[in-house]
Each structure stands twice: as C-alpha cells, then as structure tokens.
Amino acid sequence: MSSVHPDSLLAEVAALPSLPGVYRYFDEQDQVLYVGKARNLKKRVSSYFQKDHGGTRIGHMVSKIRRMQTTVVRSEAEALLLENNLIKSLSPKFNILFRDDKSYPYLKVSGTGTVRQDLRDEPSNNEVKAGVKAEDYSRIAYYRGGVEKKHRYFGPYPSAWAVKETIQLLQKVFRLRTCEDTVFSNRTRPCLLYQIKRCSGPCVGVISVAQYAQDVAQAEAFLRGETQAVLKAMEARMMAHADRLEFEMAAEVRNQMTALSRVLHQQSVDTVTDTDVDILAVKVQGGRACVNLAMVRGGRHLGDRPYFPSHVEDGHAMLNQALEDDVSTDAITLEVKILEAFIAQHYLNIPVPPALITSEKINPKVLEAIASQSGIKVNAVHNPREQRRAWLEMAEKNAAIQLARLLAEEGSQQARTRALVDALDLAPDDIDALRMECFDISHTSGEATQASCVVFQNHKMQNSEYRRYKIEGITPGDDYAAMRQVLMRRYGKVAEALKSGEADLKLRMPDVVLIDGGKGQVSMAREVFEALGLDLSLIVGVEKGEGRKVGLEELVFADGRDKIYLGKDSAALMLVAQIRDEAHRFAITGMRAQRAKVRVGGGRLEEISGIGPRKRAKLLQRFGGVRGVEDASVEDLMSVDGISKELAESIYQALH
C-alpha cells in the first residue's frame, strides 16, 4: 500500500509524535477524505499505512491519500471537539456526517424581566398608572436566530409546532400578550384575544404592570418545570384576593389554576422529576441510519425530530480503524459510533441539557468533551426505568418508523433511476452519481420571461444547485430564443473548460439534459450543442402526448434516435415527469416574482382614462413593465395596437 504514496507523506507519518491530536487526509484534488482523532497520533495514523487493507472500503480510501495534516492537542476531549468541528466544516467523504439543520426555534419572552421602580407597587381596585409603555409588558413570541441578552429564551424546541402549542398554552393559563409593540402602542380598545380570555388586556390598562409581571414570572417558572411552586403561588394569590373581598379576581386566579392543572394532567408532568432531558435512539438498517431526538423541557415532552447521517457505509468500514488504548474494537458497534458522532456534532452549537437518555452506552469521553465546552455537567443513562423507559421506547419506535419510511422512499427513487438508465441505454460509472439537468421557460404573454434549471443527482432533487436565468434581448414570447439563450449561458463556460482540459466538478456536463418541450425545443438545443461542440446524445426532450394528457409523454432525442414512449406506468416516465414538473414549478415561481416587480405601480395605467385591462396588458407586454412604459416616447406608445395619438399623449403626461 505504501508504494502508491509519496515518500514525503510516509516520512511525515514516521515523524508523528505519540500525542493526542486530529489528522486529516487529502486526495489528489486536495479534497478532504477523512478526519479522525487519536489518543496516540503516531500509532493511529501509522496503522493506515502499515497494513494491507486489500480491496476494502478502507483500502479504497487509503489508496487515495496524497497529503496529510495533523494538529496536536492537550487531551482526548479537545481532540474530539476539534475533530467534529472539522467534520462539520469540511464534510469529508469517509466520515459519518450529520448535516446542519435549520437552527432550532425558541420561545422568547421580551424584556429583562425587571419592573421599573415607579411601577412595582400594585395599585388597588385595578387602578393602573398612566404612561405605561409596551416594553413594560413582556411579550411571548416564536423566535429563531441569535439570542440577545435583553430578552429571555426558553427551549430549544424540536419544531415550530411545539413552540406555537406552548404559546397557546401560556395564553390560556397566564393570558400573556403576543402582539407586536407597534400594535400594542396603538390600541384604543381590547382585541379579540381579550374577549375570548386569551390575553389580560395590558394594551388598554386592564391589568397593572406589577400584576402582569407576576403572571410572566409564573409563566417562566412553569416553562422551567417548577409546576408545584407555580400552583402554590397561585393558591396564595387567590386566598389573598378572597381575604380582601376581591372575589372576581380570586375567581380569575382559580380559573388559571384549573387550566394549569388540566394541562399538567394531560402531560403527566406532575409525576415527572426530570425537567430538561434529551432522548436519543438510533436505528441502523439497509445501509442507512436514523437518530431520533426527543426533547423534554420543563418536564413536558415537546416532540421529536429524526436525523439521517451521510456516509454510514464508509463510517462502518472505518470503524475497525478506531483503535483506542482503553477501548477494544469488539466493544464498539456501528450504532454506538453513529450515536457518539451525533452527540459530538449536534451539541457543538446547540445547548445541551444536563441529562441524556440514550439507546446505546456512550463513551464517557464524549460526554466529558461536550461538558467541557458547555460548562454543564452532562449525565447519560442507557438503561432507564419507569417514565424514562417509556420515553426511550417511544424514541426507538419513532426511529424505526422514520428509517423504514426513508428506505421505502429511497428504494422507490433508486428503482426509478435504474429504470430511466435502462430506458435511455446509459452507462454511468456510478448510478448514484447520475446527474440530470432539466430546463423550462416561463412567461406571461411574453412578460417577465425566465428560464429554470433544476438538478437531479444521488436519486433526489438537489435544491441548492437550482438556477434561474432572466431572459432579455429576445422577442417577447419567443420560447425558442429563450431556450437558446439559457443553454448558451449554462454550457458555454463548460464547453470552453472541456476544450482547454480545465474542467472540474463545478464545470462538468450532466449525464442527461432534459428539455421540457418537443421537436422544436430539441432542435434548438441541438443547434446550441453543435455550436459548442458538445455531445448531442445528452439531449432528451419531453414531448407532451395526445391531448397533453399526463402519462402519454414521449421522449425526443437530438442525435437522430427515434422517439420512444415509455408507458403510462413506467417508473422511468415517473422520474422524468417528477423532474420536468419541478423545473416547471421553479420557473413559474421565478416568473411570478419577476412579474410582480415590473408590475409595481401597474395600477397607475388603469387609472388613466381610456386604459382598460386589455390595453394595459398590451403596454406591459410591449415595454416589459411600467418602467418601460414610463421611458417610452409618445411615438413609441402609438406603436402599440389600439393606442391613438391622443391616448399616447394622455399616458405620457400621466406618467410624467
């Protein structure tokens, strides 16, 4: 194995220190192959180059190594944190990788929670002091993004639905406001939420600042899981109102207690001692894996979220190379490795709760690493009892369900890809890497013409690689000219790179170029490819069938092959229709957005005497929007069918 590696690399391996650290392997294109950590860098890295791994996946990876980088750290915990930071930033091919999801949502309580000194004394008989501002009454709201010290945040929550459900609960029990400050400041009478007893009406002074602050404090205590303390405080408030003969206010507090007790009973919170817990269950099957994360916050189960790691098979192959001095490879299963990778990567940027419940036993070093970063001692239990056992069983069941769903979807999509490869007689080096790009043109009677390009690869649509092209300089409504322009713009640079031998992954031709159109559009695509010197066999047109009925489409080719009909129930046709429909959707949404921009102020045309919807449409189509109409001269306006000299002068004067 060492014969394929540069002497400088082998010398670098021999000179490595016997210290903890992180190593990175690179291939000929300087792409990152693998990131790993080691308690003993010399021992770990040498094992890759001293053994003959044969034709295994490890051997395939090692044969590609051309360069290496190492970083020495002080401890194994530091190595673990650095390793997973690099994995998330570099996305190496042979590591188990959990992609970055959207940031988690939080429940935000505005303000610092303190009451101004002049507003701390609660007025009697609902007498509220004047001059109260919106910031004196905290607002609860759904929030996603960076935190600010001037507000309080509760969470994270697994989904937006969980946050909104909690907000509704707080409205029912504590009647806290959700309106924007601008709305609050301009209210003269209570809104509907006050009428249905979901808000205490602070905007119109129905409740004092001190009373409202008390409700906010109890709501926050509830969110922290201090439910019994909240109930006792409510009971004390109720009795105090009763002692002062304020029976209506006492009844209000009693109703709050009833609503809260009902919620606690439904959630079974009153029997739970845990307040903040994450439950993690892993399921591996069919070369794929799912980690199900369920969240308990304030003693309430808020729901769960599935995660599907990439490169599971490569991670499995690298498992036996994970040699630690105090851990034998027999003790490490793929499930453990995946769960540890998730914990290490997930909690780099997400607050970690003090307790984790896991379906597998986790290496204490992983917990030490995330604890050192967060400053919170983290305990993990993998064989829980009672309520914790119920939570874990629920998470394990959900992981199995989500993985089964993924395998079913992927199996169907892979079968469609194989069917299309067979139907088109393709011979890709790797069917998983088969890349198809589909183009479509969209406009409204020639106005706001846009072209779309969508990408299908790895058996799924690659949304991040979609592109829109604004088409200009053509006769409005000329779809052929629009297709010519978008294909030249998309493949012109690729053709130049191929001729000069400088093509790379970013400048490469797809395996199939789908054109949403029949013979006319395919002929236009053939002209472009001939001019650029590209392979005509890549072009496939999707021609609508008789009566434009779905399922009757035929495939048209640019290289002279006869068109083919795949059959209504063909898996290949289903995939073609899926990609074609996605290109159509993407083009239409772009066109509508562009049309909305150029039509801003379009209503001004209809306000001109003699201009109705038809003439307005003709003007917008002729000049490409209101701005074009404004720039037109009287003579230009007269060139539009139905626009007389008098009307053209009226339009010009109205717009100037």
Encode pLDDT of 560-571 as tens digits: 888 888 887 788
The pLDDT value given to residue 281: 94
- The 10 Å Cβ neighbour count of residue 189 is 8
Same-domain pairing of 297 and 370: yes
Cα dihedral 142, 146, 147, 149, rounded to 10, equals -140
Residue 538, domain member (yes or no):
yes
489 and 576 fall within a common domain: yes
Amino acid 323: pLDDT: 43
| DSSP letter string, 494-532 | HHHHHHHT---SSS---SEEEESS-HHHHHHHHHHHHHH
- Is pLDDT of 123 > 50? no
Antiparallel, parallel or unpaired: β 460-461 and 447-457? antiparallel
CA angle 16, 21, 27 (to 5 degrees): 70
Domain match, 490 and 512 both: yes
Single out the residue of 329, 334, 326, 275 nearest to residue 309, CA to CA.
334
Which residues does residue 357 pair with via DSSP β-bridges, in sequence order? 279, 381
Give tens-digit pLDDT for 151-162. 888 878 888 888
| Residue 1 reports pLDDT greater than 60 | no
DSSP string computed for 68-101: EEEEE-SSHHHHHHHHHHHHHHH--TTS-BPPP-
With contact defined as beta carbons under 8 Å apart, do 356 and 280 qualify? yes
Q: Is the pLDDT of residue 33 over 50?
A: yes
Average pLDDT, the chain: 80
- pLDDT of 73 reads 87
Report helix angle 160-174 to 247-267, nearest 10: 150
- Select the highest-mean-pLDDT range: 230-239, 325-334, 347-356: 347-356
Q: Could you tell me if residue 200 is inside a domain?
A: no
Work out the pLDDT band at 326, boundaries 50, 70, 90.
Answer: very low
Question: Cα-flanking dihedrals φ and ψ of residue 123, to 5°?
Answer: -70, 150
**pLDDT value for 129:** 41
| pLDDT value, residue 283 | 92
pLDDT of residue 504: 60
Task: State how beta strands 288-297 and 300-307 pair.
Answer: antiparallel
Q: DSSP states of 539-565 as a string?
A: EEEEE--GGG-TT--EEEESSSPPPB-
Last residue of a domain, one of 72, 90, 108: 90
Residues 393 and 313 occupy one common structural domain = yes
156 preceded by a cis bond (ω within 30 of 0): yes
> Do residues 184 and 207 touch, judged by C-beta distance below 8 A?
no
The CATH number of the domain where 615 resides is what? 1.10.150.20
Give the CA dihedral 398, 402, 408, 412, nearest 10 degrees: 160
Distance CA 287, CA 309 (A): 11
Q: How confident is the model at residue 435 (pLDDT cuts 50, 70, 90)?
A: very high
Whether 119 has a pLDDT exceeding 60, the answer reads no
Instruction: Tell me the Ramachandran region of residue 464: left when phi exceeds 0, alpha when psi lies from -120 to 50, beta otherwise.
Output: alpha
* 544, 605: one domain: no
**What is the C-alpha separation between 283 and 396, in angstroms, rounded?**
7
What is the percentage of the chain residues whose pLDDT exceeds 70?
Answer: 84
Structural contact between residues 403 and 282, judged by C-beta atoms closer than 8 angstroms: no
Q: In the numeric block, which tokens belong to residue 103?
A: 């940031």
pLDDT band for 526, please (50, 70, 90 cuts): very high
Helices (H) and strands (E) in the chain, counts: 22, 18
Does 262 reside within a domain? no
The count of other CB atoms within 10 Å of the CB of residue 174 is 24
Identify whether 584 is part of a domain.
Answer: yes
Q: In the predicted model, is pLDDT for residue 534 greater than 50?
A: yes
346 CA to centre of own chain: 15
Query: Does the pLDDT value for residue 266 go beyond 50?
Result: no
Helix, coil or strand: residue 43: helix
CATH number of the domain where residue 570 is located: 3.30.420.340
Q: Which of 302, 321, 309, 315 is nearest to 283 (CA)?
A: 309
Task: Give Rg (Cα) of the chain.
Answer: 33
Q: How many CB atoms lie within 10 A of CB 57?
A: 15
Given a cut of 90, whether residue 488 has pLDDT beyond it is yes
**337, 52 in Cβ contact below 8 A?**
no
Half-sphere exposure of 198 (CA within 13 A, CB side): 11
Q: Sort residue 446 into left (φ over 0), alpha (ψ -120 to 50) or beta.
A: left
Higher pLDDT, 227 or 441: 441
Enter the tokens of residue 223: 């969110």
Q: Is residue 170 part of a domain?
A: no
Domain boundary among 73, 90, 107: 90
In tens, the pLDDT along 598-613 reads: 554 545 666 677 787 7
Q: Domain containing 293 — which CATH number?
A: 3.30.420
What is the full DSSP assignment across 211-269? HHHHHHHHHHHHHTT-HHHHHHHHHHHHHHHHHTT-HHHHHHHHHHHHHHHHHHHHHTG
264 vs 557, higher pLDDT: 557
What's at 557, amino acid-wise?
A: F
If you average pLDDT over residues 379-389, what whole number do you get?
A: 87
Find the mean pLDDT for residues 385-404. Answer: 89
pLDDT of amino acid 527: 93
Residue 29, pLDDT above cutoff 70: yes
- Per-residue pLDDT of 66-109, as tens digits, reads 889 999 988 887 888 888 888 878 888 888 887 655 567 888 99
Residues 469 and 572 in one domain: yes
Instruction: Check whether 476 has a pLDDT greater than 90.
Output: no
Spatial distance between the Cα atoms of 486 and 491, rounded to a whole number of angstroms: 9
Q: Is the pLDDT of residue 389 over 80?
A: yes
Contact of 34 with 24, CB cutoff 8 Å? yes
Residue after which a domain boundary falls, among 50, 65, 90: 90
Residue 539 lies in a domain: yes
Supply the DSSP string of 610-621, one letter for each residue. T--HHHHHHHHH
**The pLDDT value given to residue 324:** 41
Name the nearest CA neighbour of 219 among 303, 140, 296, 141.
140
- Beta carbons of 529 and 540 less than 8 angstroms apart: no
Q: Is the pLDDT of residue 406 over 80?
A: yes
Cβ(158)–Cβ(303) below 8 Å: yes
Residue 511 one-letter amino acid = D
CATH of residue 58: 3.40.1440.10
pLDDT at 437: 94
Among 122-131, 174-183, 232-241, 427-436, name the most confident range.
174-183
C-alpha to C-alpha distance for 417 and 429, rounded to whole angstroms: 14
d(CA 135, CA 301): 31
Q: Which of 159-173, 495-509, 622-636 has the lowest mean pLDDT?
A: 495-509
- For 113-174, the three-class secondary structure string (H helix, E strand, C coil) is CCCCHHHCCCCHHHCCCCCCCHHHCCEEEEECCCCCCCCEEECCCCCHHHHHHHHHHHHHHH
CB 555 within 8 A of CB 540: yes
Structure confidence by residue, pLDDT tens digits, 287-312: 788 999 998 887 778 888 898 887 77
Residues 6+ apart with CB under 8 A from 398: 281, 292, 294, 304, 306
Same domain, yes or no, for 559 and 530? yes
Looking at the fold, whether 319 and 438 belong to one and the same domain comes out as no
| pLDDT in the model for residue 322 | 53
Residue 231 within a domain: no
Task: Check whether residue 467 and residue 561 sit in a common domain.
Answer: yes
Q: Over 70: is that where the pLDDT of 318 sits?
A: no
365: pLDDT strictly greater than 90: no
Q: Give the pLDDT mean for 18-26.
A: 90
426 is a domain residue: no
Residues 540 and 491 in one domain: yes
Q: How far apart are CA 204 and CA 177, in angstroms?
A: 12
**Which residue did the predictor score with more confidence, 603 or 225?**
225
Distance CA 635, CA 295 (A): 69
pLDDT of 433 above 60:
yes
pTM over 0.75: no
Burial class (CB in 10 A: 0-12, 13-18, 19+), 198: middle
Residue 124 has pLDDT above 50, yes or no: no
Same domain, 580 and 605: no
* pLDDT of res. 320: 54
Q: Which domain holds residue 349?
A: 277-403
- If one counts the domains in the chain, the total is 4
- pLDDT confidence of residue 484: 92
Instruction: Answer yes or no: are the C-beta atoms of 502 and 495 closer than 8 Å.
Output: no
What pLDDT is stored for residue 3 in this prediction? 58
In this structure, the number of other CB atoms found within 10 A of the CB of residue 188 comes to 6
- 121 has pLDDT over 60: no
What's the pLDDT at 271? 42
**521 and 535 inside one domain:** yes
